[in-house]
Amino acid sequence: MQINPLKFGSVEIALPVVLAPMAGYTDSAMRTLCLEQGAGAVYSELASAEGIRRDSGKTFQVLETAPGEQPIAGHIFGRDPQAMADAAKQVEQTGLFDWVDLNCGCPVKKVVSRGAGAALLKDLPHLGKIIEAVKNAVSLPVSVKTRIGFNQSTPNHLEIAKVVEESGADMVAVHARLAKNFHGGEADWGKLAEMKQSLKIPIIGNGGIDRPEDIARMFAATGVDGVMIGRAAIGNPWIFHDWQGRLEAGDTVVVLERREMMAEHLRRLVKLNELKQKQLKISYRYSPEEAACIQFRTHIPYYVRGMFDKKQLLMKLAQLTNVDAIMEEVDVLVAKNR
């Protein structure tokens, strides 16, 4: 299948299969692993516009990237157009990002109760004001990550597409589920196809990619300009490699590859936490290694998916707070699965 590069403003994504932003997962450690496996672009973790504006060190840490981690969007949320514009300007000034992305799809209570994220889909004129304010504030391209609607009685996918485009966004990424459904139920690719038809700006489709072969299927079924992968990339950075027809390696190699990827992921998380703790001179409850091991707990079940007797490891996870202890248990599991 011929896939064209995705271009918007100064951004060019050579192979537009990108990693979705996922709070709590897609930190620099996971993003760099996915980029190395072939992800076309990544998004920063979600940062609050108000936090950026207040110059909160913690918010800026959310925006940390690793050297060479590109192309990457600075992904921000908020309600107030001026706060979003100011935050976008600060994101631009870091010099770390290729474009600014506005979150208009997050359904979690903490965000929606502030009138931000998916709540903006109930008030499209206000969403338009945010996009316009941000566009006027920065010279980087601006994209919107959104959904096909909030619920059945709020503006629909085509009304959203129209406002996003007319307000000046350079690209839109659309999760093909209603916000009220969070991440459940089937993704509606038909709506992605209709949005593609109605838009002049490029659209990235998202939702319902479970296996590598779904990527080509989404391109073909919807005509979207790019595909975004979320949960299927957790514990599985290879998805960005496999879909291009990589030959299946033998099971032994796959298990060993998984072991090596886990070790590397953990190493990067430790480094990330060391950097974080050096930057912000506040007292931390956990050492960088302990913090990394705790963060890695959410990734491990995905890395060992399908492995025989993984329950032993998963049950011990809460007690494993150093890298050697985790890798020892992983090696026991790998030995059983070779």
- Residue among 49, 118, 47 nearest 89 (CA): 49
Q: Specify burial of residue 121 (Cβ count, 10 A radius: 0-12, 13-18, 19+).
A: buried
User: Is residue 212 at the binding interface for ligand FMN, with CB under 6 A as the rule?
Assistant: no
Q: Which of 170, 158, 17, 189 is nearest to 102 (CA)?
A: 170
Under rule CB under 6 A, residue 19 binds ligand FMN: no
Q: Is 185 in the site for ligand FMN (CB under 6 A)?
A: no
Region of 83 (left: φ > 0; alpha: ψ -120 to 50; beta: rest) is alpha
Residue 124 makes CB contacts below 8 A (sequence gap 6+) with 155, 159, 160, 163
Q: In 223-250, which ranges are continuous DSSP H helix?
A: 239-242
Stretch that binds ligand FMN, among 90-98, 226-234, 237-245, 324-332 (CB under 6 A): 226-234
Among 38, 51, 71, 105, binds ligand FMN (CB under 6 A): 105
Residue from 103, 167, 222, 337 touching ligand FMN (CB under 6 A): that is 103
Judged by CB under 6 A, the residue of 201, 216, 232, 254 near ligand FMN is 232
By CB under 6 A, the residues from 111 to 150 that bind ligand FMN are 145
d(CA 276, CA 298): 20
| Residue 40 found at the interface with ligand FMN (CB under 6 A) | no
The verdict on 217 binding ligand FMN (CB under 6 A) reads: no
The answer to whether 22 contacts ligand FMN (rule: CB under 6 A) is: yes
Residue 270 has which token pair?
Answer: 């430790």
Among 34, 104, 106, 293, the active-site one is 106
- Smallest gap from Cβ 253 to ligand FMN, in A, equals 26
Q: Which residues bind ligand FMN (CB under 6 A)?
A: 20-25, 46, 103, 105-106, 145, 175, 183, 206-209, 229-232
